[in-house]
Structure 1
Amino acid sequence: MKEKKSNNTRVINLAVGPLLFLLCTTLLPHQYFSTVAARGAIGTIAWMAYWWITGPVDFAVTGFLPVAVNAVIQMADMGLVIANYADEIILLLLGASIITASWELSGLDKRIASFFLVMIGNELRSQVVFWFLLTTVLSAVLPNAVVCAAITPIAVSMLRYLGMEDIGESRTGSMILMTIAYGAGVGGMASPLGGAMNLVTVQYLEEVTGKEYIYWHWVIRFLPIMAVVIISNLIYLVCRCKKGENLGGSREYFVRQYHSMGKMSGDEKWGLGLFLAATVLSFTRQLYQDYLPGLKPAYVFIICAIIAFVIVKRDGSRLITWKSAEVKIIWDLLYIYAGGLAAGTLINESGAGKAIGEAMAALHLDGGFPTIFVIVAVTLLMSDMTSNTATAAVAMPIVISMVQGIGLNPVPYIYVATIGVNLSYMLPTSIRAIPVGYGMKPRFMLRHGVWLTVISIVSLSVTAWLLVTYWPSFSTI
């Protein structure tokens, strides 16, 4: 009886997805979404979001919906949609997944896990604070995707060492992976180097002012905003951890386990060395990009993954083979991430993103708090549907023209839009696909993401209004 009820629920959820698509395609206001393509793009996002949350099919399968739907109702050039499934970040994630597959074969995963458990402790609140601050700091000067892709496997190794093979069924494991994705997203706002979306913002700032933008000015202007977002996010995440909740075991036990492992084997050193080499080269790209412009982080990870297949151990066997690697590669991760990118392509290429911006401009705002609130809310919600960079490219010119149309200085409102462009919490698109690929359920992220979205929109709208109103430097570059 229970199985029959479960099957009935699955059938209903399967049907609701395409029904949402049809409703969006027919009922969205034609005044703004004038084409079937634009309405269909929004409908595809709704369909994907519902299936990701309810799970009637595997999450990776939902990642292919943009291809299937676009083949029936062409919303964008199919070549552009398909290209997302071989995006640079997909290659980065594949390379990282291959390298870390060698960890499990050599036992390095257990060594790394016990090290972090000894260093941080097993209390969930301590773990959440550590991973959030670590990823926030790193993503302030490095691309968010690189940070999230490099840090998540380390945390996954720790969780699996503790017996959490199915992270989706573990509240504590899901909380840690979600925290890493959120921290990587938040940190990107701290400096122009935090991601391509910020470089898009800098480009528009230079265009409207006719001056070169000095990067440290960004850090100063966003310092109070970063303080609010870090504190508010951490308070929420820590409060969601129950008092005394831990990952299991005791610190003394993990100390004994760590010391009992003895010295690193050659296999472990190779696995760790390749991962560190890929990570360090990715994090220091600015030092060699003029000499090796093609050696981007994605290709660094792929090169190191290829090296892992070439290495021969002392006993004549290989460090890793494709047969041993393919069963450990997180294939779901690649297709969930690609699906989010493809959905973003539909939004932008179909004109749906521009239509959302035009609807915002039609509100005839006067530049006060309601204007700031709408800009933060719309850009933040758009970032959940598509990539942060795509949101910046679509939203910035609309915000500039809207503000200039009412005779105001666009600079502070560009900064305001940057807040929403950098933040997103609810759907497994962009870097938020990474924890889902490792097993976290999308509905877990949605449940917490809704609250953080509301908290962020309200607190940061108030903060931005105070800065625009009372801090003259916030209106300059």
Structure 2
Amino acid sequence: MAAENQGDRTDVDKALLGHATYRSLGEQRLSPAEERFEKGRRTIGLFLAPLITVVFLALPIEIPPQQQTLAGVLLGVIVLWVTEAVPIPIGGLLGVAVVVFLGVAPADEVLAAFGSSTIFTFIGAFILAQAMLKHGVARRFAFRILTLPRVGRSTTGVILAFGAITCGLSAFVSNTATVAMLLPTALGILGVIAKVMQHRGVVAPDFDPLRVRVGAAIMLMLAYGASVGGLLTPVGSPPNLIGRGLIEEATGERISFGQWMVMAIPICLLMFIALAVVLLRLNKPEIRRIEGVADYLEQQRADMGPLSRAEKNTLVAFGVTVTLWIVPGVVAVIAGNDSEIYTTVSDRLDEGMVAVFGAALLYLLPTDWENREFTLRWRDAAEIDWGTIVLFGTGIIFGSLLADSGLAETIGTSVADTLGLTSVVAITVFAVLLAIVVSETTSNTASAAVVVPIVIPVAVAAGVNPFVPALAATFAASFGFMLPVSTPQNAVVYGSGAVPITTMIRSGVAFDIVGALLIIIFLPVMISVVGLGAG
């Protein structure tokens, strides 16, 4: 079988070859109906956003003018985010400019959020992730897991291994980058499995290798596993940092790196188990035992050779950063959150400064000292996701303005009275459902920026500590599994051609429901276990 795999390209290879690279949603071969929908959605947004803003500003509403102006602009920004009429970060920046133009607050006051420590946590984490991708550390980790004993001998083992890999990598590397990096490997393995199915006569000779259940299961495990893994750490997904920043601003309580991981690991483990059950039940692989995949993986791993100097440097920088992120949590366990030593250590080892320090190490650790070559060059940093950083800053700005202007309290009182939300359970359920619905129609980053500032004042107006509902909304913002537009990683796997839209919708709905239940039930428990949200 291994010899056959290395021979001339078959029809299966040719069918898969054109799908082995990452393509964004805009670069995919969309059907005519999908193209019309995307074009219409953006066109509507261009006209609807300013219209909604102007109409809202003209309404005779009995709230202070400053609040009405902010609400009108924010509504327009939300329309831009949901319809993606302009790139999502640009929509936020446009709104910030208009807020200043209309006199809601001075420019210096509005832009102060861009000095947030969390902005630098983003920057440092993204640069570290860039090094892991550039030098192949992430890919090496993936093949190490895939070549574990017995993993490559069954379709179930391969599917679960891809889930474990994406979960692990997405805790520190961009979800989208993780999936895009693993996609060619997944398609290569799918090609081997397709050949096995042909030889066994499981499928017709003229079958489409991109339309088999095992392929859909692998691809959906990549996309959904990345979203689950992104919840493991504060830097795993942009919504985590956005939600955490807004919660700290509203409650004065900061979730440390270690506290977040202790809280998230049990929930993510349950989510992973649920994800595996959902995907394997709804997309049951046509065959169980496979030959040839293990040989393919071993060959791929052998081709990588030993660790390079750049890979070793990247691991050193990554290890130092994560260690320094965790140290304050260890001190808190030993000395207590109220101790003077914990306060000193947590202040000195600020997560943003640690992230910047770790990123700087990549420009200090040499790969060729004689020629003064270092692990990264500046152009590598220029390629990180600056759009997400800008979006985070604008999200924090609007959150601050909502609180400072009193609009947050007005919204919270109105929603709480209208829906009759008076308990932490009811508000948490509302927060989770709202975040999932919004994340299905726009990016999870924009979902967190929209939903968390709404949930916090609703809880405050009801006399409930907003910590649990806001954090539940933050977790749920990463749940958007039904459509290619729900998350970038959904778009990546949909672009491979291996996942029919009906399969994505069916699997996504099932996991949305299961994920919502897990967040509602277990997140409050883990928050209590960690000792957070007691204020």
Native 8 Å contact 1:281 1:300 kept in 2? yes
**Count of aligned pairs between the two proteins:** 410
| Structure 1: runs of 5+ lacking an equivalent | 136-146, 165-169, 189-193, 205-214, 401-409, 468-475
Tell me, what secondary structure is at the counterpart of 1:284? helix
Match of 1:43 in 2: 76
Per-residue deviation, residues 240-294 of structure 1 (Å, max 9, x unmatched):
7674699xx9333222322343332222211121112212221333246534623
- Within the candidate set 131, 143, 147, 1:118 is matched to 147
Match of 1:297 in 2: 351
1:308 to partner: Cα distance: 1.6
1:341 to partner: Cα distance: 3.6
Counterparts of 1:207-286 in structure 2 under 5 Å? 243=285, 250-286=293-329
Distance 1:109 1:377 in 2: 37
**1:155 corresponds to 2:184:** no
| Alignment TM-score, normalising by the size of structure 2 | 0.57
Counterparts of 1:309-320 in structure 2 under 5 Å? 309-312=363-366, 313-320=368-375
Native 8 Å contact 1:380 1:424 kept in 2? no
The 3 A distance-change label for structure 1 pair 274 and 174 is: farther
- Within the candidate set 405, 409, 418, 1:363 is matched to 418
Tell me, what secondary structure is at the counterpart of 1:49? helix
Per-residue deviation, residues 184-225 of structure 1 (Å, max 9, x unmatched):
44888xxxxx96788899989xxxxxxxxxx9xx98xx9999
Distance 1:398 1:463 in 2: 23
Distance 1:322 1:279 in 2: 22
**1:101 corresponds to 2:148:** no
- Within the candidate set 380, 390, 393, 1:335 is matched to 390
**1:386 corresponds to 2:444:** no
C-alpha RMSD of matched pairs (Å): 5.6
Tell me, what secondary structure is at the counterpart of 1:67? helix
Native 8 Å contact 1:114 1:254 kept in 2? yes
Tell me, what secondary structure is at the counterpart of 1:329? coil
1:100 to partner: Cα distance: 3.8
Distance 1:322 1:265 in 2: 17
| Structure 2: runs of 5+ lacking an equivalent | 1-29, 188-214, 235-242, 254-258, 332-341, 437-446, 496-500, 526-533
Aligned residue identity for 2:125 = A
Distance 2:508 2:246 in 1: 23
Tell me, what secondary structure is at the counterpart of 2:347? coil
Distance 2:164 2:230 in 1: 13
1:364 to partner: Cα distance: 7.5
Native 8 Å contact 2:48 2:79 kept in 1? no
Native 8 Å contact 2:125 2:359 kept in 1? yes
Distance 1:295 1:224 in 2: 26
Native 8 Å contact 1:348 1:354 kept in 2? yes
**1:354 corresponds to 2:387:** no
- Within the candidate set 209, 225, 232, 1:179 is matched to 225
Per-residue deviation, residues 46-105 of structure 1 (Å, max 9, x unmatched):
221211xxxx54444344333233244455554454344454333223223333434455
Native 8 Å contact 1:372 1:461 kept in 2? no
Match of 2:361 in 1: 307
1:376 to partner: Cα distance: 1.9
Native 8 Å contact 1:109 1:161 kept in 2? no
Identical aligned residues as a percent: 16
Aligned residue identity for 2:83 = Y
**1:455 corresponds to 2:488:** no
Native 8 Å contact 2:396 2:449 kept in 1? yes
Larger radius of gyration: 2
